[in-house]
Amino acid sequence: MSVSDEKLGNELAALEAKEIAIQKQVQELHRKLMVPVWVERREMVKQIPNFWSEVISNTPIFGGDSNDDIDAEVLEHLTDFHVEYDEARPNYRKVIATFKKNGVFKNEELTKEFILDEEDGTVISKSNIEYHAGKEPNEKKRKTTDEEDDDDDFNMEFVKWFGDDSIPVGAILTEQVFPDAFEIYKQDDDDDEDDDEIELGSDSEEEEDETPKKKSKK
């Protein structure tokens, strides 16, 4: 590499670092401006039955068979989901999930505090989940699933995440799911509309095919 190429490479790297720094500043400002909106939304969605249950269920990483049916059983009891940020610590997150009385665990509230960083993050505190007898996670099945997919950083289990030391799921919950809750919630409605359009389109085609064709006059 020539001296001029090395110099250009260093300049491009410095420019990229500036872009990243500006993007972080924009994200922090956006979050600061949105906090009052999210507080207002928190009260508003209490009037929508199963709002947060639908949001979490519509999030792809929580689907599949790896959750031992724990999420499916308890999500219908989820009454509130909230994320606390700290302006003084931009990478700080506290996730709070509130549940009605259920048959899976005794906790009314599950919380997890952590710090995000570029590599992964650090867990500050996490809930001690008090499972009812017979509802403890199936560790054997969980281990087998992890071994089969070593490249997957996600537990893909909403409830268990509150009691473990992993971070990546928390990044998705706090950076995507919580901010975009309305859009995620409306996915079911959008899917229903798409299905209706497909069905209507199919009916129209069938009707067109079934319409007798006029004989051409010779």
- What pTM was estimated for this model as a whole? 0.76
Per DSSP, the residues of 7-27 read HHHHHHHHHHHHHHHHHHHHH
Q: Which CATH number covers residue 171? A: 3.30.1120.90
- On whether residue 139 sits in a domain, the answer given is yes
With cut-offs at 50, 70 and 90, classify the pLDDT of residue 63.
low
- On whether residue 83 sits in a domain, the answer given is yes
Using an 8 Å Cβ cutoff, are 93 and 83 in contact?
yes
- On whether residue 118 sits in a domain, the answer given is yes
Chain centroid to Cα 198, Å, comes to: 28
Please state the φ and ψ torsions of residue 150, each to the nearest 5 degrees: -65, -25
- On whether residue 179 sits in a domain, the answer given is yes
104 vs 132: CA distance, rounded Å:
6
pLDDT digits (tens, 9 = 90+) for 145-159: 444 444 444 457 899
Specify the number of domains making up the chain: 1
- On whether residue 136 sits in a domain, the answer given is yes
- Lowest mean pLDDT across 6-15, 23-32, 189-198: 189-198
pLDDT digits (tens, 9 = 90+) for 89-138: 999 999 999 999 999 999 999 999 999 987 778 999 999 999 999 988 87
- On whether residue 182 sits in a domain, the answer given is yes
Output b/e per residue, 120-144; b: 16+ Cβ within 10 A.
Answer: ebeeeebbebeeeeebebeeeebee
171 vs 187: CA distance, rounded Å:
21
- On whether residue 2 sits in a domain, the answer given is no
Its domain, for residue 74, covers 49-193
